[in-house]
A and B are shown apart, each in its own frame.
Chain A
Amino acid sequence: MSDLPRPLPWLGVIGQVPALDVSAPSGGPVSAVLPAPLPVEAAAPEVTMATAAAAPEVRAEPPWWASVVSKVRSKFKTPKRPGSGLPARKIIVWLRNARRVSQTGFLLLFLFLLVRTEFRGGFAGGATVRMPYPVEGFLLADPFVALMTFLSTHTIYRALWWSVGMVALTLIFGRVFCGWICPFGTLHHFFAWLIPNPQGATTGGRRVKANMTHGYQNAKYYLLGAFLVAAVCGSAIGGLFDPICICVRAIGLAVLPAANYISGRGLDGLSQTNIHALQLGSDATRDALVATVMQPRQYFFHQTWVIGALLFVVLLANRWIPRFWCRVLCPLGATLGVIARYALVGMEKDHSKCTDCNLCLVDCQGADSPQGGVKHRHDECHVCLNCEVACPEDVIKFTFLPKRTSLAKAQDTLDRRKVLTTALTGAAVLPLARTSDTIDSNYYDRLIRPPGSVPERDFMERCIRCAECMKVCPNNALHPAFLESGIEGFWTPILIPRIGYCEPTCVLCGQVCPTGAIQKINETQKLGDPVRHIEPIKIGTAFYDHGRCLPWSMATPCIVCEEFCPTSPKAIWVEEVDTPDRNGHPVHVQRPHVDPTLCIGCGACEKVCPVQDRPAVYVTSVGESRSKTNVILLETSNYNRS
C-alpha cells in the first residue's frame, strides 16, 4: 500500500481549463492526472473573496478597524462562489442539510437506544420483564453481521433480516449508511472536523491531499475478505471490527461507566461539603442523571480500559487520516462498498468543465476521487454530497443511473493476490486459535457463558462481541472476556459472579442478542418447571473452599450463600453441627453444601460470600446445560437423595 494518491485516470476528452482566479495571468491546461499542489487560497475561497472585498481601490492607510469590519461583513454576506459562480442545485444544498439532520438524529437515536439498553423498572411494569422496543436495532440492520453469521451458521437469525432493508437502501443510494446513518461514522465525521491535521489546518493543500483516494483504503476490503473466510470456517470474529459493535462496546462499557464515575465523584465531593445548597444541588443533579442517562450504581467492566483506549486511538487517528476508520478498516463499510458498486444513484462528472480547483476534496468524507480527470470510486463514496455543493463549475452531479464510464471497477482497485493472501490468513487464524488452550482442551474453568448460550463452537459462530448483553445485564454480571476464552474469544461475554450474579428470573441478555449466540429464552425455560418436566438452564456449578468458609473452618455462623440461593428447593443445604472453638466450647453452626443436581450456577452465593477477596464459594462452568462434555454427573444420578 502506498500513501501516495493513486487516482484512476479518466481517459476521455479533456477540455481547456480556465484558471481559477481570473485576475491572475492565465496558465496552460492543468494536468488532469495529478493536480499540482494548490496554494492555500485556492482551497479557501471565502477568505480570498473577503480580503478582496475589503481591499480599497486607492492606496490609503486602512483604518485599524477595517479588517474587523470586513470579517464581520463576510459573516453576513454570502461569499461569491469561485470559478463560474454557478450556485449549487437547491436540492443538493437541501439534501446536504438533510444529511446533517439525519446524522445527528441517528447518532442521538443510537445513544438513546444504548442508554435504554438496561432494565430500569417502573410502576407500569408487570411480572414479566422485557425490553419494550428493539434496543439492538442498529445491529439487526447491519448487513455485515447478517452476512458473517449467515456464512457461519447458514441461517439468518430472527430479526437480522432487517439488514436486507439496508442492502436495498445501498443498492439504490450507495453507501448512505456510512454518510447518513452510521453512529460511528458520524463520530468520525465530527472528530475529523474537531482535530484536523495539524499541518494543514482546516483547509489547504494537505487536507486536499488527505482526502484523495489512497491505496490504504483497500485494506478494508482485504479485511472483509479475511473475516468472511473466517466466518465460513466457523468464527464470527469479524464482529471485533464491526462499527456498530464498537460503538455499543466502547460507549456502553467504557465511556458511559467512566462518565458515571466522573459525575459521581464530582457530585459526591459537592455533597460532602458543609454547604447545604451545594448538597441539595448535588443530590438533585444525581437524581436527575440517574433518572435519565446514568445508572443508579457504578458499573465495572473487566479490562474495559483496553476498549476505551482503542476507541481513543481510533478517534485520534482522524488527525492524520480523516475518517480513518471508515476509509481504512471498516468491514461494514467494505460490505456496503461492494454493494454500492451496483447502486442506482451515483456521481456523474463532466470532466471537460473541471478547473481542478479541488474544492470538492476539501470536505470529501469517503476519499472517493470526486475531482475531475479521474474515475469516481463509487464504492468509497459516502454520498455526503459535500463535493457537489462545493463544486463551482457544476462538474459533479449525483443522479440516478449515472454513466458507468466514470465509475471505477473492482478490478481497477483490488489486487487479486492480496485478496487471496488475506483470505488465507482468515482461514489460518482459526486453526491456530483453536489449537491453543480453548474449546477442546484446557478449557478455562471460569468461562461461564450467559444463560441460553449455545454450545461453545456454535457460540463462536454467532457471537459478534457487540456487548449488548453486557450492557443490558442488570447485575453487571456479564463482562468482555480478555484472554479467558482464548485469543478467538476476545471480548465475548463471560459471567464474573464476584462482580455480579445472574438474576434467575432475568432473560434480557438473550432478548438483546442479535445473532442468537444467547438464545431468546423465556422464564419457564430458564427456571425450569418440575410439573412439566422442564429442566432449568444451568450455567455452571458452585463449589466450596472449606478452608476459607466461616462455618467450615472458623466456627462462625454465616450461610449468606444459602439465604441468597434462588432455587426452590435451595441447591445449598446446611448441615447443623456443633463444632468446638479454640477453647473447646461447642459453637452451633450450619455448614453449607451444594447439591449439584439443583445448582444452576447463577453465582449469587459467590457474589454475597463475605470472604471479600477470594470467596469461599465459587462457580465454575462445569455442569452447564449447553455442553454435552463439560459435565460432572451421570444424567440419571440423584446426588444427595435416595
Chain B
Amino acid sequence: MLGASGLIAWRRYDRGGWSVGDQGGPREVRDYRVADHGGPSDFAVIRGTSASRPAEMVRHAVEALGGMRRFVSRGDVVAIKPNIGWDRTPIQAANTNPEVVAAVVQLVFEAGARRVVVTDASCNDPGRCFQRSGIWSRAHAAGAEVLLPAEHRFRTMRLRGEVLDEWPVYRTLIEADKVINLPVAKHHNLAKYTAAMKNWYGTLGGRRNRLHQSIDMSVADLATFMRPTLTVLDAVRVLLRNGPQGGNVDDTQRMNAIVASTDQVAVDAYGCTLIGQRPENLAYLRIGEERRLGTRDWHTLRPREVALRDDGATERYGLIVPAGVSPSDVAFDLHHPAPRIIT
C-alpha cells in the first residue's frame, strides 16, 4: 500500500508553476493542392447572361481549367466548403448559390470521388442557414453528405500563425483528400471584400469575434493554413452593400459570373473588382502575396475567359462553339493558341 501510494506520488508529482505554451515552431499548413499536370489554364472566368444556368457556368469554368479530373482522383474524399454563414435565402446572396454547390458536387462525383462532404461552420444557427440557403437540399440531391457543424467535430490545434495560434478547427474540412473552396463574392464592411480567403473563417470554431481586431492578418493566417485544391467563386448574384449579411435584395446585383482557379489570392484579386474594389486596397491580398500564397496578378495564370451566349452557344477566345457541343470537346493546346472543336 505504502509502496503503491509512494509510486503514484512519485509518478504523478506536479510541481505546479505558471508557464505559457511555446510560441515558436513552423506554421501549420494543410495543403490540398495537386501537382500541376499542366492544365490549359489556372484561372478561368465565365461570363453568362441572365439566361445562363449556374450549373452550366460552373461546368464551363472547370472545363476551362482542364476538367475536374485534374483535381480529383478516383476514390477521393472531397470536402466542399461553400459559404453557408447566414440565415438568408439564395436571392439575398449572402451564401453561396445552391446551384453552384450542386454543380460542383456533381462534377466531383463525375471525376470519381468516393465521398463528398459539404459543410461550413455558420455564423447564425446552422440548421437554419443550411436549410434556408437551399444548399442542404441541392447538395443532398446531388448526392453529397451535408454535415451540420457540431461541437465534437472541432479539435483544438496550434495553427502558429501571426495572430492565430490555438483555435478549434473543423476536423471534417481538414480530414479530406481534396478540399474545394466555394465562396460567394460579397461586400464586407470591415474587410471591404470577402470571398475566397476569408471563407476559411468557417473552418474555425470557438469565439471568432476576436479575429476582427486584426482582420487582414487573420484572413492571411487562415489562407496560409488552408491551401485548397481548387477555388470556385460564385458571382452569379453579388452582394454590393450591407455585407457580409445583407438581407435586402436591392443590395444585390446579378452578375452571372463564375471564377475558378487554383490560386485563391488571384480569385480574390479578380473578384473584388466586381464590387468596385481594387486589389491594392485589400491588405490581406498583399500579405497573401508576400507569403507566396498566390498572386494578385491573375493575368500571369494563363487566364481563360468564356462568354456564354443566349442562344446556347459559347464564345471562347474568339471561337464560337455552337450549342450542343460539350465543353470537353473543345481542345485547348498550349502549342496551338487557337482552340478548336474536336469532331
Contacts and interface: CB of A to CB of B under 8 A. Distances in A.
Interface in B237-258: 242, 244-248, 251
B69 interface: no
Contacts of A27: none
Interface string B124-139: 1111101110101101
Contacts of B247: 566-568
B152 A503 contact: no
Given A264-B151, A505-B87, A570-B242, A559 B125 contact: no
Contact of A298 (B137, B151, B188): B151
A119 B137 contact: no
A556 B123 CA distance: 22
B90 to A, nearest CB: 9
Given A119-B128, A127-B132, A506-B128, A556 B189 contact: no
Which of B128, B140, B244, B251 has the most A CB atoms < 10 Å from its CB?
B128
A121 B131 contact: yes
Nearest to B129: A121
A564 B123 contact: yes
Contact of A283 (B152, B189, B207, B244): B152
A290 B127 CA distance: 13
A379 interface: no
B7 interface: no
Interface string A276-293: 000000010011001000
A105 interface: no
Contacts of A612: 207
Given A564-B123, A590-B189, A125 B131 contact: yes
Contacts of B131: 121-123, 125-127, 129
B245 A564 contact: yes
A610 interface: yes
A129 B136 CA distance: 14
A305 to B, nearest CB: 22
B341 to A, nearest CB: 39
A123 B87 contact: no
Given A560-B212, A566-B247, A590-B190, A121 B152 contact: no
Which of A505, A565, A609 has the most B CB atoms < 10 Å from its CB?
A505
B152 A286 contact: yes
B152 A268 contact: yes
Nearest to B123: A564
B23 interface: no
B212 A610 contact: yes
Contact of A562 (B89, B130, B139, B189): B189
Given A120-B127, A296-B151, A566 B89 contact: no
Given A474-B128, A566-B247, A123 B152 contact: no
A121 B136 contact: yes
A563 B190 contact: yes
B161 interface: no
A267 B153 CA distance: 12
A608 interface: yes
A569 interface: yes
Chain A binding site: helix, strand, loop or mixed by DSSP? Answer: loop
Q: How large is the interface on A (under 10, 10 to 19, 20 to 34, 35 or more residues)?
A: 35 or more
Contacts of B209: 560, 608-610
B137 A123 contact: yes
A489 to B, nearest CB: 27
A475 B215 contact: no
B213 interface: yes
A329 B210 CA distance: 51
Interface string B97-140: 00000000000000000000000000111111011101011011
B127 A121 contact: yes
B216 to A, nearest CB: 10
B135 to A, nearest CB: 9
A559 B190 contact: yes
Interface string B275-304: 000000000000000000000000000000
A558 interface: yes
Given A566-B247, A570-B242, A129 B128 contact: yes
Given A296-B126, A590-B190, A569 B248 contact: yes
Interface stretch (B35-43, B54-62, B141-149, B262-270): B141-149
B150 interface: yes
Interface in A102-127: 119-127
Contacts of A475: 125
A297 B151 contact: yes
A557 B126 CA distance: 27
A121 B150 contact: no
A478 interface: no
B148 A296 contact: yes
B169 to A, nearest CB: 14
A550 interface: yes
Interface string A541-578: 00000000010000011111011111111100010000
Given A123-B141, A124-B137, A503-B128, A563 B189 contact: yes
Contact of A505 (B132, B141, B152, B188): B132
A87 interface: no
A271 B136 contact: no
A504 B132 CA distance: 13
Contacts of B140: 123
B149 A558 contact: no
B189 A574 contact: yes
A505 B125 CA distance: 11
A531 to B, nearest CB: 11
Nearest to B140: A123
Given A264-B151, A503-B125, 8 more contacts: A119-B127, A123-B131, A125-B136, A264-B152, A271-B152, A559-B190, A569-B242, A612-B207
7 tightest Cβ-Cβ pairs between the two chains A and B: A121-B127, A568-B247, A123-B140, A296-B150, A568-B248, A121-B131, A610-B209
11 contacts: A125-B136, A283-B152, A298-B151, A503-B124, A505-B132, A559-B189, A562-B190, A566-B247, A568-B247, A568-B251, A569-B242
Interface of B: 87, 89, 123-128, 130-132, 134, 136-137, 139-141, 146, 148-152, 188-190, 207, 209-210, 212-215, 242, 244-248, 251
